[in-house]
């Protein structure tokens, strides 16, 4: 009967000591840096750690800050620059002096009355029954609107000064010029005169009657810009939502930024 061989003793590996390298770590284990060794300590990092530990307080403080900012902005309001504020140097000084003494530029408005064919001369144009009727009617309606001053007309009309230069060179058109009450920066509402001109246009289909000036142009421009912004919003909202869905991959994560933006 054979006896199994006796196992031989295996000498332990070299240990760390003077002139010897330390033992390597076991497979699968990594010696990381001690806790807190590389933790950033600047203000943003500390604020982030505090916000994580106090989530409700951080969100509540943020909402309170937004509400206070909106309230303060509403209380302070906005200041719209006047035309004199855009000037510099001596021009700005002169503009301020004129404004302080009541010499301000009013908002100019004009009503164009035009026929399809040219007249033989200015007198023939002003003698045209359609031109005379439309010009007389628009002057009366604009004056009755209560917001117009300093009416000027190529015909002698009640409440208007006569200006023969308001006849066009092509002998097809005449102008009724007037100012809106108030200043160029803060004029009276232009809507009453626009309504008056629209009524004259409907009452005199044989001639073209149109209004143009400082206030009416601003009103038309504001309406155009507002309409363009509305179309841009209708296009941008679904496009932005689609981008956020593609980035975040979740409806909730995409809707929250959209809701905050709106």
CA gyration radius, the chain: 40
Q: Architecture of 104-213 per CATH?
A: 2-Layer Sandwich (3.30)
How many angstroms separate the Cα of 182 from the Cα of each of 8, 52, 92? 114, 57, 21
Helix (H, G, I), strand (E, B) or coil at 261: helix
Please report, for the chain, the start and end positions of each structural domain, with discontinuous segments joined by +.
104-213, 220-261
pLDDT 10s digits, 72-123:
888 887 777 666 666 677 877 887 787 777 777 788 999 999 999 999 999 9
Q: How many residues can be counted in the chain?
A: 262
pLDDT score at 1 = 47
Going from the C-alpha of 106 to that of each of 119, 142, 147, 164, 227, the distances in angstroms are 33, 16, 12, 22, 28
Pairing status of strand 160-162 against strand 173-180: unpaired
Q: What pLDDT digit, counting tens, does each position of 195-245 carry?
A: 999 999 999 999 999 999 988 888 888 888 888 888 887 888 888 888 888
CA distance 16 to 237: 67
Lookup: tokens for 101 = 């003494």
């Amino acid at each position: 009967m054979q006896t199994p061989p006796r196992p031989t003793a295996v000498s332990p590996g070299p240990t760390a000591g003077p002139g010897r390298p330390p033992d390597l770590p076991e497979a699968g284990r990594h010696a990381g840096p001690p806790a807190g060794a590389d933790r950033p300590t600047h203000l943003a990092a500390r604020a982030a750690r505090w916000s994580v530990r106090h989530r409700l307080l951080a969100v509540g403080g943020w909402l309170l800050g937004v509400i206070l900012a909106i309230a303060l902005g509403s209380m302070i309001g906005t200041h719209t620059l006047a035309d004199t504020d855009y000037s510099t140097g001596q021009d700005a000084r002169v503009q301020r002096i004129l404004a302080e003494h009541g010499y301000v530029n009013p908002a100019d408005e004009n009503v164009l009355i035009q026929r399809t064919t040219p007249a033989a001369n200015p007198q023939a144009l002003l003698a045209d029954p359609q031109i005379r009727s439309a010009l007389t009617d628009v002057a009366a309606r604009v004056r009755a609107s209560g917001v117009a001053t300093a009416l000027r007309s190529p015909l002698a009309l009640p409440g208007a000064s006569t200006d023969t230069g308001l006849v066009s060179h092509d002998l097809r058109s005449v102008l009724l010029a007037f100012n809106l009450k108030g200043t160029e920066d803060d004029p009276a509402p232009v809507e009453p005169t626009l309504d008056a001109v629209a009524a004259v246009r409907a009452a005199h289909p044989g001639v073209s009657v149109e209004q143009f000036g400082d206030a009416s142009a601003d009103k038309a421009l504001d309406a155009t810009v507002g309409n363009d912004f509305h179309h841009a919003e209708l296009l941008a909202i679904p496009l932005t939502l689609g981008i956020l869905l593609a980035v975040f991959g979740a409806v909730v994560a995409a809707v929250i930024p959209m809701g905050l933006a709106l």
